Amino acid sequence: MQRLAARIERFATAAPFVIARGAKHEVEVVVAEVGAGGHNGRGEATPIDYRGETAAEALRAIEGVRGAIEAGATRVDLLDLLPAGAARNALDAALWDLAAKRAATRVWALLGLPDPRPILTAYTIPLGDPGAMAEAARSASARELLKVKLGGEGDVERVRAVRQAAPHARLIADANQSWAGLDVEAMLAALAPFRVELVEQPLAAGADAALAHVRPAIPLAADESCHTRADLDRIVGRYRVINVKLDKAGGLTEALALIEAARQRGLGVMVGCMLSTSLGVAPAFVAAMQADYADLDGPLLLACDRTPGLEFSGSDVHPPLAVLWG
């Protein structure tokens, strides 16, 4: 028998976290714990707000499958028990953590992966006016990879300001669906001189057909348009990269399958995260071991992380300690 406990926790952000959809001052996460055989596995997930998810709803969904979990449901069973989203992610992470503890090994060993090394992670520059974004970029200019949040009109000026403030950093950008009504091809051409390597989600999820004939000067990555393997066939020919997030995919189990399926279709892979603590990001680190880009800076954007948390040094995030997860 397995034992289930779940709860909601709240963490303040270090500063207002602003993207095209609005600002956040705190994040609510749902935490699941599954115990068995004297061991306890933990998982954390952040609801996907643009899909209308809330922590309260995620907690109710977890409670709704309590009987199945306590009867011994597995990670594979979860794929049928719950839809993709935060509830499934929290439980999936807890079951992976539990399996590693019961086997006295690490999750990457269970997957047959080599021992990991630190991974380069992007660091987010929140959306703002060009001056504010330049100041944020200047403060982070020693970091190797910056992710610039965009908002539509004025984005060229924003990126120009960031590039001038951080001339040596690599840049990727995230439009968060804000380019509706803009000429996507022209916007990409205008950003290309600033050495932007990638632009995420220029148009709203569901509006991807408009990208079919765009000749992008910068590769496009699908974020809100790609959650699980079921979305991949709509991605090919419109995007060259997908952003895999465990909260979207509904856990590491689906995320790993999604990465494999994306590779089979010739797509590049970024592994990202929502605002979350180190407990939420730790499983994403395992997925990021197989990615081209990692954006795992969620804990750095909080006023206070869990203890112990992930170790960040320079531009890298280190593998999670067993006492944290996995």
pLDDT on residue 52: 85
pLDDT on residue 273: 95
Catalytic residue (choose from 24, 101, 147, 149):
149
Catalytic residue (choose from 24, 101, 147, 245):
245
Residue numbers in the chain where pLDDT is lower than 70: 18, 20-23
Angle at 189 between CA 186 and CA 192, to 5 degrees: 150
pLDDT on residue 23: 65
pLDDT on residue 127: 94
Domains, the chain: 3-110 (3.30.390.10), 119-317 (3.20.20.120)
User: Could you tell me which residues are beta bridge partners of residue 145?
Assistant: 170
pLDDT on residue 14: 79
pLDDT on residue 16: 72
Structure pTM? 0.95
Nearest C-alpha neighbor of 117 from the set 309, 296, 278, 318: 318
Are the C-beta atoms of residues 121 and 145 closer than 8 Å to each other?
yes
Token pair of 95 as six digits: 């079951």
Active site residue 245: yes
Instruction: Give me the percent of the chain exceeding a pLDDT of 90.
Output: 93
Active site residue 149: yes
pLDDT on residue 22: 66
